Structure 1
Amino acid sequence: MTIYTETYMYKNSTTNIPQFVLQGFTGIPAEYYGLFGTFFLLIYLMLASGNVFIFVFVACEKSLQKPTYIIFCNLAISDLGFGTTTLPKIIARYWISEIISFNGCFTQMYFVHYFGTCTSFLMALMALDRFVAICNPLRYPVMITHWTIVILCSVVWIGSLLLLGAIIAHALSVPYCGPNIIHHCYCEYISITYLACADIAALKAISTSIAMTVLWGPFFYIIFSYVAIIISVMKISNKEGRYKTFLTCTPQLFIICLYYLPRSFVYVAFAIGFRFETNINIAVIMMYSLLPPLINPFIYCFRTKEIKETLLKKLKLRQVTVK
């Protein structure tokens, strides 16, 4: 294992790090590595099974192939992609080796932020769907069609692909010559760019502005949408109708807060140069990165009336067939 411990600050230095070391959580005895790896394996299996189930179930059930559920499917793909990008390497870090190649690290960083960006815009798209459905229900069938959502989702995937390509290319433009220890369980932008042996002030300013646009643009739109939704709901004279609508929105608001608020805090801290204690930093990032993909299938789909009714019908049909 090669660990570079000196930091050089020469503008003309060239990258000479063949690999990075994923430090992960500090202070954990080696005998507990297997337990940690097993824990993350269970998280990955739960995350993957939930999101694969949602995608397959909606894709196979024609009655659910509606604009709202197309967004659900895209969100499930993004969540599955993020989990598959990060968790297998985290498991390998505790079971096999903490080493990751230079190219492998930047590839992982690309997909980590790519799927994160897609998720951010897909959640904004979901807020748009709910906004039109609740605030302009008569125009919903005209404005939110099957092909409209397909086109918007395609724009999200392709636009994020190009945007993240530019960001990663910019991160690769600076030299990395030591140290090579990443204070995280996987490769992500902040942890890697801190290792650059050059002045990254301009890089930090550009990346932070792009990150805030990607993060806060959808977030502010979501806030606007839900404020409008709440105002519309308050106008409903039927108390039970208001309660049902609020009940539908509350879990989504919880996920939105969990997704956006900690991310905003971490990126602002990075921009002003504030550093957290390593274990706290990793724990916060892991929480807001892995918890939403893990519980999204339950929040967005298993609590949805149409999906629950379809599942119950299929279960009852199967029980009758078995009998």
Structure 2
Amino acid sequence: MKNTNISTIDHFIIIGFPGLQPEYYGPVSVLLLFIFLSIVVGNGFISAVIVYERTLHKPTYIIFFNLAMTDILFGVVTLPKVIARYWWNDVISSFRACFTQMYFVHSLGAIHSLILLMLALDRFVAIWFPLQYSSLFTNKSISIACSLCWSLTFIRMLGIVLHASTLPYCNLNVILQCYCDHVSVTRLGCGDQVTYVYSVALANAMVTLLVPLTFIIFSYFSVIIAVLKMSHTERRHKVLSTCAPQIFITCLYYVPRCFVYIAHNLGFSFGVYTRTVITMMYSLIPALVNPIVYCFKTKDIKEALIHRFKSRKFIFDLQILRLL
């Protein structure tokens, strides 16, 4: 590999799932298209319900709305390119397109982590400080907090991605992944600064994921303690039914990532194909499953949907009677 300060490549080649045989390209592209449509339609549906249903104009559901938006945008940023790779054999990603994708992939992941932190704090304050909840968690304050999560993260990640773009990329341009991420791209860099750039990004990733995770664990652990102290079974069940979907959504996001990190530090190594599959699973499954959790495990959303369905059915029945 050349050791130069000038990049000699102008594009990257996205391999997708390394070692996948050509006869499986069609089924894989169809599966990924189904996942993409499910993520967009499912989270779009939940977002529309929260926007148009006045009973859901509450702080908790504003947070849900922001989670759904990160899931939609992550799917839009990552899946179309890998679908095109297997559908039309479009493996080329330009230098700028790859770094743009990297920027949004890591920004949306960091934003999702911060929104999950806000969700945990929402339940923590609601249960431990119920009298102060209505004054602290208002629609306005949550909207401002979510806006800050988005804007400040986009600004912070811009520095990380620009730092990676300063590396010279000499000969290697093959990305053994389904999309451009920081690790896959920077390992293709050459020169003396690669290790430093990687270390800065790794430290940033640990802060982005582990600091919110620490507060999330503390918040939900405190909630569980509060539930155990409750004397009324009915109230205990109500609190658990409110927190369970949020804990499940948080676990979907963090548990696989923590598993991969711990396994790596314990010396377990995954093959390139296995690592790619695991990365895609923990990146996409939460976005795929979250709308189902919102609909069936969140009481207010479920009741709003049932009420809307019954009112539509009632109107439809009246129209039928008029025709008769």
- In which range does the TM-score fall when normalised by the shorter chain? over 0.9
Task: Confirm whether residue 214 of structure 1 aligns to residue 223 of structure 2.
Answer: no
Alignment of 1:1-323 (within 5 A): 7-8=1-2, 10=3, 12-96=4-88, 97-199=90-192, 200-264=194-258, 266=260, 276-323=270-317
Q: CA deviation at 1:320?
A: 1.2
What are the ranges of 5 or more consecutive residues in structure 1 without an aligned counterpart?
1-6
**Closer/same/farther in 2, CA of residues 71 and 222 from structure 1, 3 Å limit:** same
Q: CA deviation at 1:138?
A: 1.6
Q: Aligned partners of 1:33 and 1:295: how far apart in 2?
A: 24
Q: Aligned partners of 1:133 and 1:301: how far apart in 2?
A: 22
TM-score, length basis structure 1: 0.92
Bigger CA drift: 239-248 or 157-166?
Answer: 239-248
Q: Root-mean-square deviation (CA), in Å?
A: 1.9
Q: Aligned partners of 1:194 and 1:218: how far apart in 2?
A: 27
Q: Aligned partners of 1:178 and 1:273: how far apart in 2?
A: 30
Q: CA deviation at 1:306?
A: 1.2
Deviations, residues 141-192 of structure 1 (Å, cap 9, x unaligned): 1110111101100110011111110000110111111211100011111111
**Closer/same/farther in 2, CA of residues 269 and 192 from structure 1, 3 Å limit:** farther
SS in 2 for 1:139: helix
**Closer/same/farther in 2, CA of residues 171 and 275 from structure 1, 3 Å limit:** farther
User: What percent of counterpart residues are identical?
Assistant: 45
Q: CA deviation at 1:127?
A: 0.6
8 Å contact from structure 2 (residues 245, 298) kept in 1: no
Deviations, residues 183-227 of structure 1 (Å, cap 9, x unaligned): 001111111111111232211221111100000111001001001
Q: CA deviation at 1:276?
A: 3.2
SS in 2 for 1:15: coil
Q: CA deviation at 1:23?
A: 1.0
8 Å contact from structure 1 (residues 205, 271) kept in 2: no
Q: CA deviation at 1:263?
A: 2.5
SS in 2 for 1:21: strand
8 Å contact from structure 2 (residues 119, 246) kept in 1: no
